[in-house]
Amino acid sequence: MSCEIVTTDTLITGPTVYPLDLEEVKKARRFSSTTLDTLFDLWISAATQYYESETGWQLIDATYEYTLDAFPEQSEIELPHLPLLEIVSVKYDVGGVETTFDSSNYRMTPAEGVPTKRGRVSLLSGCSWPTADTQPAAVRVRYRAGFGSTPGSVPDLVKYALHTLVGHFHKYGEAVQDATTSLNEIPLGAKQVMLTARLQAMSTLKPTRSSWLA
């Protein structure tokens, strides 16, 4: 019998750019003045946060740390944010000392298929997870996720959804105070793109361990 491992996923380093270029957004909105630049930046940020929270996809390169209170019985650890760019490190505590799990024991398996199976840390043949201390966040997987580090790396369909959301914020202005939590009416185009992205992203496989190890 198995029991579920407690996990958390924390943003370590966020993106340094937005997935939409400010000047391109203003051009699309037929707006040349700089008087609303601060608001446009806010709307781009809000649209990005809303898209990512609704779909689970990371748009611009960011670093996360996925923690577990033990190594799983499975040979893979699926990581929450898509798409996976890099496994930075796998670290664990043993005897109260932080230890790095050598990368020669595993490989990065990127997101694949439709629906999309999430990126993961996969043990190589003949390798096994080490034994870690039993405590919260005893195992820490640091990874990078995103389409890339520039707006040009973001798929056009995603950009379309973001442009649609920004246009919605621009049109209704102060009627939308907190776009990440109080959007009651989302433009149909953006809604359909996000729904498709959410459906494509399969749920993260919950890591488990044998109950006698709990």
Burial class from Cβ neighbours inside 10 Å (0-12, 13-18, 19+) for residue 103 reads middle
Please determine, for residue 43, whether its predicted confidence score (pLDDT) is greater than 50.
yes
* Confidence grade of residue 180 (pLDDT, cut at 50, 70, 90): very low
Q: How many domains does the chain have?
A: 1
Distance CA(90)–CA(207), nearest Å, equals: 15
Which candidate, 105, 54, 46, places its Cα nearest to that of 82?
Answer: 54
- Other beta carbons within 10 Å of 58: 24
Q: Per residue in 54-95, pLDDT tens?
A: 888 999 999 999 999 999 999 999 999 989 999 999 999 999
Mean pLDDT of the chain: 85
Distance of CA 175 to the CA centre of its chain: 29
Q: What is the pLDDT of residue 10?
A: 96
φ, ψ at 51 (rounded to 5°): -60, -45
**Residue whose structure tokens are 């190589």:** 124
Report the C-alpha gap between 204 and 78 in whole angstroms: 6
**In whole angstroms, what is the distance from residue 135 CA to residue 6 CA?**
10
pLDDT of 116 over the 90 cut: no
State the residue range of the domain holding 16.
2-213
> Mean pLDDT highest for which of 12-26, 33-47, 91-105?
91-105
Question: What number is the average pLDDT over the span 161-181?
Answer: 68
Using the structure block, give the residue that is written with the tokens 């040349």.
32
106-109 and 2-4: which strand pairing? unpaired
What is the reported pLDDT for 184? Answer: 54
Residue 31 is predicted with a pLDDT of 79
In this predicted model, what pLDDT tens digit does every residue of 156-165 receive, in sequence order?
Answer: 999 999 988 8
